[in-house]
Amino acid sequence: MPTAYTADQIRTAERALMARLPDGTLMDRAAAGLAAVCAGLLGKVYGTRVLLLIGSGDNGGDALYAGARLAGRGARVEAVLAGAKTHEAGLEAFRRAGGTIAGPDALDQADLIVDGLVGIGATGALREPYARLAEAANAAPGLVVAVDVPSGVDASTGQVAGAAVAAQVTVTMGARKTGLLVDPGASHVGELELIDIGLGPYLPDPDVVSLSHHDVYGLLKRPMGESDKYRRGVLGVAAGSDRYTGAAVLAVGGALRAGAGMVRYVGPGEPVTQVRARWPEAVITELSEPSIDEVGRVQAWVLGPGLGTGDWAHELAARVLASDVPVLIDADALTLVAGDRALLRRTAPVLITPHAGELSRLLGADRAAIEAGRLEHARRAAAELGVTVLLKGSTTVVATRDLPVRVNGTGTAWLATGGTGDVLSGVAGALLAQGLDCFDAGSCGAYLHGLAGRIAADDAPLTAADVAEAVPAAIRMLRGASRSPR
């Protein structure tokens, strides 16, 4: 289970480790790891051109020491000294190895550019000349390697306040930083390389975690010899309307493909017809009145996709939320809850699955602020609403009170198409019905949904129905990875 930490957590661990080591040991370890990654990217080091962008902090020192090592292997290494001061010992080692000082125009001739402008302590927008150098590095033809964190990315939050380096590779020291896993910062990272410098014993509980294939497969419920459809989880789906029939079809499909033992669908006439035609496996109750009295026993509910926001939908939502089983709230039901927070006054667990716009209505916050600070707002919603929050987007985050946020990285940009969120609701709802708690159901549901999106897309357009169809293949992929030697 990959873990990540805030800048403060990393600095505290570094101080504890440095107190036990000779001066300069950590920087030497970091520089050796950075140089090794750079050498691997260059292939044949001798004769290549490397340009270092050096700021005032310790990551500038890491870059200078790494540059000295590359110069010792025959690379032509130059440095742009952008800070008001420079790490003196690193600069001396760099010059002794044959490194030279250059101007920004050297960017266009470099095979590899090392971003050592600012480190994990930097917050807010880059100042000049750093901002200008970051943009110039992005425009240059050489491969860009960031030291610890791309300059301009907040290491603790992933926020990007202005210009930022877009690295092809980020070499991070000691532990992953939270901002490297969460957009918009994550989109600047490229391939992430972790260098072990000995911080492990000194790290606290993580700020965020990211599940692996093995983690998710271990959490999923698998049928046993004595299993029947009821033991495998009965999910109720209250979704769809005469206007939005497809949402019901997709939510039910996601639930069935994710292994629900039974899906009980409830809705009005037109979506009932569509669900019955597409999914004869579903047990269907056509509603003339917004009541669930005749539905039968369920172990969890999915509420909201395509439901509408009128009085009829509000009454049905109130009936579902008055039940004593876990409820996943999505789409139109989130709008209903935003207008009537009393609907959330229940003792049974709740998982909400908003995108940034829906969360903005729930919190009364600006959508752009939510997209820029996903972790902050997901945590705030979990605390204020007393629910588990699955915040959808380019980085999906799952937050609940008193636990590290889970960050999901399996998605693909091809999932940005209508109806895929309805499939996700069905997948996560099936996991709720199977007995996973809201945190695990949301995390595993997002993971499977993203993986199914990748399988379905294969770098080409997809439809939401394609994603639902690919969910069993995603589960098989997890099973295969779990059986492989780790």
Would you list which residues are annotated within the binding site for AMP? 392-396, 421
Amino acid at 174: G
Task: DSSP letter for 230, please.
Answer: T
**For residues 4 and 177, is the Cβ–Cβ distance under 8 A?**
yes
How is residue 378 written in tokens? 């997901």
Contacting residues for 425 by C-beta, under 8 A, at least 6 apart:
239, 251, 254, 302, 304, 305, 328, 330, 331, 353
DSSP secondary structure, 186-223, as one string: GGGT-EEEEE--S-GGG--S-SEE---HHHHHHHS---
**Residues within the annotated binding site?**
58-62, 115, 119-125, 130, 148, 151, 247, 306, 355, 392-396, 421-422
- Reported in sequence order, the residue ranges of 342-395 that DSSP labels E, i.e. its strands, are 350-352, 388-391
SS3 128: coil
Nearest partner of 264 among 233, 226, 223, judged by Cα: 233
- Binding-site residues from annotation for (6S)-NADPHX: 58-62, 119-125, 130, 148, 247, 306, 355, 422
Residues 6+ apart with CB under 8 A from 222: none
Residues annotated within the binding site for K(+) are 59, 115, 151
User: Cα–Cα distance between 57 and 426 in angstroms, integer?
Assistant: 48
Residue 244 to residues 241, 265, 270, 271, 279, Cα–Cα distance (Å): 5, 15, 9, 8, 17
CA–CA gap between residue 249 and residue 265 (Å, rounded): 10
User: Distance between CA atoms of 36 and 162, rounded to whole angstroms?
Assistant: 31
**Three-state DSSP state, 77:** strand
3 state DSSP class of 267:
strand
